[in-house]
Amino acid sequence: MADVHHEIVYFTGHVQGVGFRYSTLQVAKEFEIAGFVRNLPDGRVHLEVEGRPGDVAAFIAAVEERMHGLIRKTERSAQMRPSQLAGFALL
């Protein structure tokens, strides 16, 4: 199986209790990506996404645009790996 672009993203700010995960799910429907989003106990939101590099980058940019004003900091790490995700889920 071919490798895909995979990113782990942590969003910090006023990102819990504001519909962040649901909005991320809605944005995901507009892109050919797979992944999940979940709240962390420390108040951050954890996003994992994989797909073609351009699709992943555009998806993350769209999430940041949709949630503008709530995100104070975005931390991203990327790698190429075999596909491990299917669909997009709220965890």
pLDDT, tens digit, 9 for 90 and up, residues 13-25 = 999 999 999 999 9
Domain boundaries, the chain: 3-81
Q: What integer pLDDT is reported at residue 2 of this predicted model?
A: 81
pTM reported for the whole predicted model: 0.94
Q: Annotated catalytic sites, by residue?
A: 21, 39
- pLDDT tens across 33-80, in order? 999 999 999 999 999 999 999 999 999 999 999 999 999 999 999 999
How far, rounded to the nearest angstrom, does the alpha carbon of residue 28 sit from its chain's CA centroid? Answer: 8
Q: Does residue 91 contact residue 35 with C-beta atoms inside 8 Å?
A: no
pLDDT at 84: 94
Q: Which residues contact 76 (CB under 8 A, 6 or more apart)?
A: 7, 8, 9, 60
3-class state of residue 70 by DSSP:
coil
The pLDDT of residue 1 is above 70: no
3-81 has which CATH code? 3.30.70.100
